[in-house]
Amino acid sequence: MNKIAITTGDPAGVGPEITSKAIRFLKLKKDVIIIIYGKVESCKAGNRIKKIEKVSEAVSPKYIYWIEINNNKIEIGKPSVLSGKVAYEILCRCTEDLNSGKLSAVVTAPVSKAAIRLSYQSFIGHTEFFAEKSNSKNVVMSFWGPYFNLALLSTHLAISDICNHLKTTDLAAKFRVIYDQTIKMIPDARIAMLGVNPHAGENNAFGNEDELIKSVLKELKNENIQIDGPFPADTFFSSKVTSYDMVISAYHDQGLIPFKMISAEEGVNVTLGLPFIRTSVDHGTAYDIAGKGIASEKSLEQAIKLAEKMLLGNRVETSGNYGIFAEYYDGYMHHVSYEKWTNFILEQYNRANNKSPEKILELACGTANVASLLVKRGLNVDASDLSPEMLKIASAKPFSPNLCLNSMIDEIPMNNYDLILTLFDSLNYLKDLNEVKTLLKNVQKSLLEKGLFIFDITTPKNCENNFNNFINFDQINEDKFIHESDFDTAKNTITSKLTFFRKKGFLYSKYEETHHQTIFEVEDIIELIDKSTLQLLGIYHINSKENLIDHDPRILEANFTRLFFVLRA
């Protein structure tokens, strides 16, 4: 079983906060166990956290484990001798388990070098610390992002020391580490080296470091290690960067200025050349916002995902739908009358049972707009969704329900619900009738006697009217959003392509999501219900109280854009 450690960094900084946010709705893998070293903050809902004393107690991938290392005297937002000592203790404890082989990887939240150096003057940074503790001679600091990847020939050195470092270090060994690790991640990767001096030295006119690098790269070709360059750095990022998978910079700021300019919150720091995997956020402790609840966990999430990918390769699941769209979902759905939907649902339950439901579950809850309204009315509501991004937005709402990361067809952990809901075309995201059958079976097991299951489906009429050859352009703040949909009548499927252009500084970044929905025939849904242990009480349209259960299914599909099914256990 692979075990990944997450060190929470300086307890006075944002590390504990972003760790808590990142793990709350983290999709747990069946062959990976996550263990936190340091301090985490409690969450209302999400993944279950178990406190342990030692790493051997972490045995199930169904939980996130926590080895607490903290001091309650530390003041949030204020680095100190004590916060530095605790941050260093976290690293030492984790490194013991790494070196003993009890852990496969470590993901690090930020520390303050200055705070640690108040007690441990030799500390320079994570990279150097792990290299020393693991006796690794040729480690490389690298950064992986959506636009380009970067490796550094030096780490945290003063500019005045760079040239001497290049002349005295084993450059060939550094290049070998970069090449070997890069092709593991990207087969047939193209790699480029930046020039150290202006115009890459211009034939020794501005120093001889670039000639030294040229000679080393030439020798490496005999080992079938192809690294192009060195290229003048002032023109490389405007003309050549997109042609390469990995860019090598001689020193810290030369490569990191362009990298962080366009990869903020999405970049991941990776130490190459260690006997274990180490990834990290690409930002600092951010004391100025620590404790305010506004720190972004995005870089840490990317660091966790990359560590999993480096361990598991192609077995890592993709983020799927509603990764980017989650951020825009509520604005895009502002036209929906959630109050009307909530009233309809409660009216159906009251009509069937002459009382209000005591315990409710909404599957595929999205950003929990209906579930939050139910909570606001004083009801006990659980809600689940497959998208961590949607759940994060739901968790920030004033009347947020109890949230859990699950798909519609995962087994429901509890079996005492009065009312279960699946709304807003969610059922149409199921691939086929077998998945619908699984959903009905799971719901039946989880409903109390006389409990209701209410769900809706979109119809062919809705697809033809609103989604066939559909295109819409929208703008939310400074971001652009294109929605394209097509209805395949032969396959009864809708394919929706969402393209986002998000502004970052003076640049726009492009993101895409593709959503696939199955348009089920009403007759097939009714047949599945009849074969289940659930009883179909009625079929409704939101704007009418008439029960349409006795109407011809083909007439219903031809006349209504959305149909609600009310089932009883």
State the CATH number of the domain containing residue 429.
3.40.50.150
Here the contacts of 475-483 (C-beta below 8 Å, separation 24 or greater) are: 476/328, 476/331, 476/332, 478/503, 479/328, 479/503, 480/508, 481/328, 481/332
- The predicted structure's pLDDT at residue 155: 81
* One domain for residues 115 and 76: yes
| Domain assignment of residue 310, yes or no | no
Query: Which residues are paired to 37 by β-bridges?
Result: 7, 67
pLDDT at 238 over 60: yes
* One domain for residues 117 and 173: no
Tens of pLDDT, residues 73-82:
999 999 999 9
pLDDT band at residue 231 using 50, 70 and 90 as cut-offs: very high
* One domain for residues 384 and 526: yes
- The predicted structure's pLDDT at residue 44: 67
* One domain for residues 92 and 183: no
Terminal Cα distance for the chain, rounded: 40
Mean pLDDT of 454-474: 91
pLDDT at 419 over 90: yes
- The predicted structure's pLDDT at residue 316: 47
| Domain assignment of residue 317, yes or no | no
Of 186-200, 314-328, 535-549, least confident by mean pLDDT is: 314-328
* One domain for residues 388 and 239: no
Helix orientation angle between 209-220 and 159-168, rounded to the nearest 10 degrees: 40
| Domain assignment of residue 68, yes or no | yes
* One domain for residues 119 and 252: no
* One domain for residues 525 and 387: yes
Q: Last residue of a domain, which of 136, 156, 190?
A: 136
- The predicted structure's pLDDT at residue 201: 66
352, two tokens: 């069937």
| Domain assignment of residue 307, yes or no | no
* One domain for residues 549 and 413: yes
Q: Last residue of a domain, which of 114, 136, 158?
A: 136
537 to each of 346, 489, 568, 569, how far by Cα in Å? 15, 30, 7, 10
How many Cα atoms sit within 13 Å of 246 on the Cβ side? 29
pLDDT band at residue 131 using 50, 70 and 90 as cut-offs: very high
* One domain for residues 234 and 358: no
List % helix, strand, coil for the chain (3-state, nearest 5): 35, 25, 35
Q: Do the strands 402-405 and 417-422 form a parallel or antiparallel pair, or are they unpaired? A: unpaired
| Domain assignment of residue 290, yes or no | no
Domain at 246, CATH number: 3.40.718.10
* One domain for residues 250 and 132: no
Mean pLDDT of 216-239: 92
Q: Last residue of a domain, which of 486, 503, 518?
A: 518
| Domain assignment of residue 349, yes or no | yes
What region does 203 belong to: left with phi over 0, alpha with psi -120 to 50, or beta?
left
Q: By three-state DSSP, how is residue 476 classified?
A: strand
Q: Tokens 């956020």 correspond to what residue?
A: 281
* One domain for residues 354 and 467: no
* One domain for residues 111 and 150: no
- The predicted structure's pLDDT at residue 156: 80
243 to each of 146, 148, 161, 386, how far by Cα in Å? 14, 9, 31, 35
Domain count, the chain: 4
Q: Measured between alpha carbons, how far is 210 from 301 in angstroms, rounded to an integer?
A: 37
| Domain assignment of residue 424, yes or no | yes
pLDDT band at residue 210 using 50, 70 and 90 as cut-offs: confident
- Domain range for 425: 326-460+519-568
| Domain assignment of residue 255, yes or no | yes
Q: Measured between alpha carbons, how far is 131 from 128 in angstroms, rounded to an integer?
A: 5
